[in-house]
Amino acid sequence: MIGYTVSRLLQTIPILILVSLIAFGIIYLIPGDAATVIGGPSATAEDLARIRANLGLDQPLLAQIGHFYVNLLQGDLGRSLMLGIPVTDAVIARSPITISIALYSLVLTIVLGLSTGIVAALNHNRWIDQAATVFALIGVSLPNFWLALVMIVLFSVHLGWLPTGGYVPFTTDPIGWLRTATLPALSLAMLQAGLLTRITRSTMLEVLRQDYIRTARAKGVPEWVVITRHALANTLMPVVTVLGLILSVLLSGSIVIETIFNVPGIGSLLGNAISNRDYPMIQGGLLFVTAALLLLNLVVDILYTWLDPRIRVGGSA
């Protein structure tokens, strides 16, 4: 177990180094002189010099990379051109908002996806199964930002149930938070719920065909106990595996969803950075989110070995 944890940790380091290098390299994709593009047509020679100095573009490439990594090791992702504050501070200040919506969305995904998948598997080849399959397929095919707009028209404009946007922190007013966070979380959750429904359904069908389920039934164990105690635990394993993937897509989607709902999280921070050509913020935000996801995946992997004794035993043998 410890050996596995250490080896997974060591595998993550080179990927983190490459990921940061890719994020660093984004500024070199700007066609022509980056400072001119960032400064815009009205920038004076002094403005351009200041932008170059700020981004370190006036130094040789190797020195830039060296500086980048020295700063990175100290948690310094550069300074935002738009806000004039360190990128790390801006991202950390906004992250509770994005995390709260992502977690809410994750809960909705798991509840919707698991329940639909399990109900579909238990009613294999009946109309409920067909309906769940269609729901899952439509869920994975809808653009989530479009779904968000349609839900605003339906639930906010026509029915007036929920606000069209804005954000109230959970700590200030939990009901207000629920009212503002529900539509963003739901529009993020639909796509993932579709994916999870498909995985849960197929895993559950597979598990229900296993010998130990037949044995349990033959022993006379009531069907609901067979489902909840015997089948469910093994059905949950793939859910843990796709947790990282689900969170990755949730965070990707949050850029557009937060912009649509005026939620002041990391997503809208990046959205604003894109329209203002604030490259340090784009690079820093991208790197921050990706590094967080990599670490999260690491935790999920370790958790997985802890949850599934078969892997643990197989790993140490």
List contacts with other proteins (CB under 8 A). 14-15, 18-19, 21-23, 26-27, 29-31, 37, 124-125, 133, 137-138, 140-143, 145-147, 149-150, 152-153, 157, 198-199, 201-202, 205-206, 248-249, 251-253, 255-256, 259-260, 270-271, 274-275, 277, 279, 282-283, 286, 289-290, 293-294
CA distances from 219 to 15, 24, 211 (A): 50, 61, 12
Which residue lies nearer to other proteins by CB, 104 or 288? 288
Q: Cβ 12 to other proteins, closest distance in Å?
A: 9
Distance between CA atoms of residues 107 and 150, nearest Å? 22
Dihedral, CA atoms, 266, 267, 269, 271, nearest 10 degrees? 160
In the bound complex, what is the minimum distance in angstroms from residue 255's beta carbon to other proteins?
6
> CB of residue 51 vs other proteins: minimum separation in angstroms?
15
Characterise 86 by phi-psi region: left (phi > 0), alpha (psi -120 to 50), beta (else): beta
Q: Would you call 265 exposed, middle or buried from its count of C-beta atoms within 10 A (0-12, 13-18, 19+)? A: buried
Compute the distance between CA of residue 47 and CA of residue 40 in angstroms, rounded to an integer.
10
Report, in Å, the least distance between residue 218 CB and other proteins: 22
Comparing CB distances to other proteins, the nearer of 177 and 266 is: 266
Reference 154, options 144, 166, 142, 162; nearest CA is: 162
Question: Closer CB to other proteins, residue 177 or residue 280?
Answer: 280
For other proteins, the closer CB: 177 or 253: 253
Smallest distance from other proteins to CB 23, Å = 7
- The CB-of-186 to other proteins minimum distance in angstroms stands at 16
Residue 161 contacts by C-beta under 8 Å, 6 or more apart in sequence? 155
| 300 three-state secondary structure | helix
Q: In Å, how far are 17, 105, 269 from 172, measured between CA atoms?
A: 39, 20, 22
Nearer to other proteins, 85 or 149 (CB): 149
Q: How far is the CB of 73 from other proteins (least distance, A)?
A: 18
Q: Taking a C-beta distance cutoff of 8 angstroms, is the pair 131, 182 a contact?
A: no
Residue ranges of alpha helices (H) inside the chain are 2-25, 34-39, 45-55, 61-73, 87-122, 127-141, 144-151, 174-208, 211-219, 223-225, 232-260, 266-275, 279-307, 309-316
Nearer to other proteins, 145 or 170 (CB): 145
**What ranges in 142-225 are assigned the alpha helix state H?**
144-151, 174-208, 211-219, 223-225
Give the nearer residue to other proteins in terms of CB position, either 29 or 317: 29
Residue 45: both structure tokens together: 């020679």
Q: Which is nearer to other proteins, 177 or 235 (CB)?
A: 235
Shortest distance in whole angstroms from residue 234 CB to other proteins: 15
Q: Least distance in Å: CB of 217 to other proteins?
A: 19
Question: Given the complex with other proteins, which of 110 and 246 has the nearer CB atom?
Answer: 246
